[in-house]
Structure 1
Amino acid sequence: MKNRSQPPSPSSRTTIDPAVERAVLKAKCERDHLFFSRYFFKHRQGIKFRVNWHHVLIADTVQRVIDGELKNVVINVPPGSSKTELVAINLIARGLARNPRARFLHISYSDDLALLNSETAREIVQSDEYQALWPLTIAADAKSKKRWNVVSEGKKAGGVYAVSLGGQITGFRAGHMAEGWQGAIIIDDPLKVEDAYSKTNRDKANRKLLSTVKSRKANPDTPIIVIMQRLAEEDPTGFIKAGKVPGDWEFIEIPALITDEYVDRLPERVRALVERGETDDAGRFSYWPYKEPLDDLLASEKADRYVFSGQYMQRPSPLGGGIIQSGKFQRYRVLPQLRHRHIYGDTAQKTAERNDYSVFECWGLGYDNRLYLLDLIRGKWTAPQLKQQAIDFWNKHLAAGSDANLGALRQMYVEDKASGTGLIQDIQDEGRFPIEGIPRSTDKLTRVMDVVSWIDSGFVCIPEEAPWASDFTTECDAFTADDTHMHDDQIDPMVDAINDMLGAARGLSVWEKLAG
């Protein structure tokens, strides 16, 4: 009979030293923001934190801030994405664990929300699980949810000041005049949904944001994290994007409906975690299928496209749009044979202004007498950069002419005004390629109204999948009669292309019929 190995007796089993186990747990919490958040969420709520890829992206972004790799960041997310849990509550609690001297200014659109987050962070610090790893106590005089401090090694150390964006902040600055992690300004939903419809309220929130950022940092390097759902073009995110708030900023957008192209742009560690569920006709799928089924998101989009484009897709449109309806563009997967191609450009009036964009678009006219947008670049460039972008864009599409299906690249047209005049003259003087000025003698609304029927009739086509397509259609949807939209730089070249190429195609079509 073979000897069977006997299970070890209870006395012989290996036991883990509680001190070692605690040290390992502490190290993991201090190293990994998502681990910390999951650990304390389970102890607070009694259930596991269900992790999706966007949680990893947000947590990694927070960690970059703590590590000093990222100074200021705006994170735009759909409602119900666990943003407050990760970025407000747990950053405060974990930030004090990393450095008990850290000081946080936490801001939201209302006192109630800011105070609730502050109280929850304080409860984590006071919990037995936290105290077992970081024995910090709450200062005896910290009775208020609005402001409280921790005591470390017998001395009052860092703490939190929580307030609404419009509230008074007395005698407090976030961070310290020291190197390394010293705290942050955390801004969670600075604008109330109802206030987003009022320009007065939006402007007020933006002014408060600017004054707070300027006056409430103890150190110029104190980081700022803004996390919110987009509510309007001129909301705090738009205000920062327009260059109105000093500093270097990174913007992270997490839309509710994503595509493979969006996933391809994610960091590799995050990309591998994305769950591709059911897709709609445009190849979009839910960013979080477990919590937000695709059918529910599509129903929300159909019910209120304005709300959905902002709060869920992070691409807000102003109220009063609808002159150009992106749904009227025809979408193509495969190009038909083209007659020829032109490039149209819209240059910034003053290239030094941060809120001005320049755009180059390549359009092709098909033998089916439809107009196809083939490619687009958009940026904020100085005059030398603008010239090089024009040259590179031309050369890129000239090289593509080896495909006979595309037709010849014939001409570049740029508005003969401001920075465009200099660009035209420079390229003409050097004889690099054919470029001409294009006059725009009427106002923008009139020019748009003159061509919108071509779009509504299905003669203007854009690709189903392109990294720039979403921004292009969002800008078109946002166009308003009273000029309240934020940008229209991509619209002008489109209008020029429709007037130039489809107008010519109409005449050509008549001639072909007569000749036949």
Structure 2
Amino acid sequence: MSSSASFVDLPTLEEIRAERARRKAEADRKRLIEHQGEIRARCDSLHGFIGEHWSILEPKRPFKSGWALRAMCKHLEAVTAGRIQFLLMTVPPGMMKSLLLVFWTAWEWGPKARPDLQTLATSYSQANVLRDNLKLRRLVESDRYQALWPIQLRADQNAKGKFENTENGFSEARPFSSMTGGRGDRVKVDDPHSTETAESDTERANAVRIFREGISDRLNDVTTSAIVIIMQRLHAKDVAAVALELDIGFVHLNLPMEFEAERIGEDGKVTGGACRTYVDGELFFEDPRTEEGELLFPERFPAAEVAKLKKAKGSYAWAGQYQQRPSPRDGGIFRREWFKPVSVMPAGPKRTVRAWDVGATEGGGDPSAGVRCTQVGYGEEATYYFTDAKVGQWSPAQFEAQLKLTAAADTTEVTVRLPQDPGAAGKGYVQTLVKKLPGYTVRYEQPTGSKLTRATALATQAEAGNVFILTTGDPMRDAWIEPFLDELCTFPSAAHDDQVDAAADAFNELALGQTSTVALFLSKRNR
């Protein structure tokens, strides 16, 4: 045989690689058969199952675990066991929340012998939820999974948006905006809001409406089917907040990136920092951290990387997305230390405005608020003093009565500022209010720009040290101060922002000299 002929008979590089892959796959199958019992035993827990099958979905990344991931798995296992029906997990980005839900369904179908379970999966992003459904199908169809749990998928329903198995189970992926029409034993909600739209009142309200009107009706059995929501907090009125407000039994696993020994809640109250969950009336889980700043997942997010993330995100985004507290401790655009308490205003020319934000609701919804502010001096030398705030959920008639009583207490030296809603109805209503205040200077204007924009000038002056809180030393008379500061320092993501709106309007009326319609009604005595 010639040398050229022998050279031609040598295998190509591609053939060598294919043969190596074949031999490796064969060796893996032999090991799998040999250790099948041990592997099945490890897969009895969801965490163990993820470890055994991680490389199928993430072949290039090593599996990193920690107590936080085990806690999330523990709560999902309780859903599978029927101990938790409604589960809410609020966790930072990067906690493999999407993959966790993929593995959970595969785990229920295989190791838990529930291939009959029907699952609806949803996210704000159609691309994301389809991506994860494909990952689930790839996992179930893998050689390793099939060798342990030979679940056959139906050929007539095997699309990326929905696939079924021969045991009547299925996994269907839908965008959050299109959840009507389907039902399941499991409804998995993975991030119903996007970071781009959560600040939009319209977009956020639409997501909340879909959750309230659509998600709860998607259950096959209202007594046993489960809803699992896993998300990062983006706003005080997001889906997580509504899920808890509905009080229908959501177990809330709340895992901030950095431990806070004391947390300031969205209601302004200080609570213990350790998350605790209860199942069947007994303590089920407690955050094991005790030291301020302890990290949630140092195995994946070491301290140096967390510091970079925190700096890059800024305090507002960090508080919601990573601390699961959708308002920074020090405020979004306001900080408590900027508002220095004083007992006396300095001498000098003064002007005072009380601005109102009108909710005109009784027993629910947004309250009405009236905030009084005094300017001392003019121009760059001016300083500003907040001296009172009135807040209440009043009906229109009750608000009108409160408006008159407050104006009388303030005296005619105080200008009254009212907002005018757009349209003829808004103009007619503000005219009605003006007529209730004969003898007072009343200014009214249709608000323009976002709430954040309108509050920015006040925040700038407060940070510069030009804004103060006037205290009297009387606890009863000063009772307005803490709620007022609490609302300012959780804006713009607090549940209510009525005092902020009123404070910004009062300040802008004084400082910026906004052009507004003036109505001065003289009393009969002065006519």
TM-score, normalisation: structure 2: 0.54
| Deviation, structure 1 residue 117 | 0.5
Candidates 160, 163, 179, aligned match of 1:145: 160
- Deviation per residue, 1:6-28 (Å, 9 max, x gap): xxxxxxxxxx9976842342243
Which residue of structure 2 aligns with residue 208 of structure 1? 210
Query: What code does the residue aligned with 1:309 have?
Result: A
What does 1:260-339 align with in structure 2 at a 5 Å threshold? 265=275, 283-303=292-312, 304-317=314-327, 324-326=334-336
Does structure 1 residue 63 correspond to structure 2 residue 77? Answer: yes
Instruction: Map residues 100-499 of structure 1 onto 2, 5 A cutoff.
Output: 100-152=115-167, 157-167=168-178, 169-170=180-181, 172-175=182-185, 184-221=186-223, 222-243=225-246, 247-259=248-260, 265=275, 283-303=292-312, 304-317=314-327, 324-326=334-336, 477-479=489-491, 485-487=494-496
User: In structure 2, how many angstroms separate the alpha carbons of the residues matched to 1:253 and 1:247?
Assistant: 17
Query: Letter of the aligned partner of 1:52 in structure 2?
Result: G
User: C-alpha deviations, 1:341-395, integer Å up to 9, x for none?
Assistant: xxxxxxxxx9997999xxxxxxxxxxxxxxxxxxxxxxxxxxxxxxxxxxxxxxx
CA contact (8 A) 2:177 2:210 kept: yes
Question: Contact (CA 8 Å) 2:316, 2:332: kept in 1 or not?
Answer: no
Separation (CA, whole Å) in 1 of partners of 2:92 and 2:337: 23
* 2: CA distance, partners of 1:61 / 1:133: 24
Paired amino acid for 1:307: A
Give the aligned CA root-mean-square deviation in angstroms. 4.4
Deviations, residues 391-438 of structure 1 (Å, cap 9, x unaligned): xxxxxxxxxxxxxxxxxxxxxxxx9999xxxxxxxxxxxxxxxxxxxx
The residue aligned with 1:396 is: none
Distance 1:208 1:289, change over 3 A: same
Deviation at 1:455, TM superposition (A): 12
Change over 3 Å in CA distance of 1:195–1:490 after alignment to 2 = closer
**Contact kept? 1:315, 1:474, Cα under 8 Å:** no
Tell me the distance in 2 between the aligned counterparts of 1:237 and 1:270.
Answer: 19
1:266-311 Cα deviation digits (max 9, x unpaired): 58997797697xxxxxx32332234334344345445521111111
2:400 aligned residue: none
The equivalent residue for 2:48 is: 35
Name the CA distance, whole Å, in 1 between partners of 2:42 and 2:308: 41
Identity of aligned residues (%): 24
Name the aligned partner's letter for residue 477 of structure 1: C
Q: Distance in 2 between matches of 1:26 and 1:174?
A: 27
User: Contact 1:77–1:253 (CA<8 Å) still a contact in 2?
Assistant: yes
Q: CA deviation at 1:227?
A: 0.5
CA 1:20–1:297: 2 relative to 1, 3 Å: closer
Partner letter of residue 252 of structure 1? Answer: L
Aligned length: 339
Report the alpha carbon displacement of residue 132 of structure 1 after superposing the two structures with TM: 1.4
Normalising by the residue count of structure 1, what TM-score does the alignment of the two structures yield? 0.55
Q: Distance in 2 between matches of 1:40 and 1:354?
A: 48
The alpha carbon displacement at 1:36 in A equals: 0.9
Distance 1:271 1:74, change over 3 A: closer
- Match of 2:208, SS? helix
Deviations 1:60-91 (A, max 9, x none): 111111111111111111111111111x2111
What do residues 110-161 of structure 1 show as CA deviations (whole Å, max 9, x unaligned)? 2111111111011111111111121111101123111110114xxxx10111
Runs of 5+ consecutive residues of structure 1 not aligned to the other structure: 1-15, 176-183, 277-282, 331-349, 357-414, 419-438, 461-470, 492-516
Indicate the structure (1 or 2) with the bigger Cα radius of gyration.
2
Alpha-carbon distance in structure 2 between the residues aligned to 1:107 and 1:23:
35
* SS in structure 2 of the partner of residue 160 of structure 1: strand
